[in-house]
């Protein structure tokens, strides 16, 4: 089921942290809708037990379906920064990214940034 973070309020710190629960099937997509103010997002994957995990990030996909072949792999223990170009044509006011975890029902830690 898609996760809508589009109404997440900005804070005075320059970033907002959120945790999202991944699909119960490894490799299946979780659609995440970001707020309009988000200019980049750092993504790191963990198992449900909090152990570093692998994951995949794409800018297109179908929620709850297997991730396609066009994705960025994220090795275990690493974070990936996805930049969003100002003025990009987006749906629902903010960008959408598609995440797939390496294990069932893992989590992704997101740090959404709005500063340079």
Rounded CA gap, 22 and 5, in Å? 14
Q: What is the pLDDT of residue 92?
A: 47
Rounded CA gap, 28 and 62, in Å? 9
* Number of separate domains in the chain: 1
Q: What is the pLDDT of residue 84?
A: 85
Structure tokens at 12: 């005075």
User: For 13-38, what is each residue's pLDDT tens digit?
Assistant: 889 999 999 999 999 999 999 998 89
Domain around 100:
3-7+14-113
Q: What is the pLDDT of residue 17?
A: 97
DSSP lists the bridge partners of residue 99 as 30, 57
The CATH number given to whatever domain includes residue 77 is 2.60.120.770
User: For 74-116, what is each residue's pLDDT tens digit?
Assistant: 999 999 999 987 655 455 457 899 999 999 999 999 999 986 5
User: For 35-58, what is each residue's pLDDT tens digit?
Assistant: 988 989 999 999 999 999 999 999
Mean pLDDT computed over every residue of the chain? 91
Residue listed under structure tokens 């198992």: 47
pLDDT mean over 64-72 = 96
Question: What pTM, to 2 d.p., does this model score?
Answer: 0.90
Q: What is the pLDDT of residue 86?
A: 65
């Amino acid at each position: 089921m898609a996760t809508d973070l589009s109404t997440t309020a900005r804070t005075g710190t320059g970033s907002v942290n959120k945790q999202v629960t991944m699909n119960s099937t490894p490799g299946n997509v979780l659609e995440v809708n970001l707020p309009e103010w988000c200019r980049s997002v750092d993504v790191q994957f963990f198992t449900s037990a909090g152990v570093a995990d692998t994951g995949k990030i794409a800018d297109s996909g179908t929620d709850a379906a297997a991730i396609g072949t066009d994705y960025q792999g994220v090795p275990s223990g690493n974070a990936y920064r996805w930049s969003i170009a100002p003025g990009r044509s987006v749906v629902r006011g903010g960008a959408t990214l598609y995440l797939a975890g390496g294990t069932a029902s893992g989590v992704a830690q997101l740090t959404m940034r709005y500063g340079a």
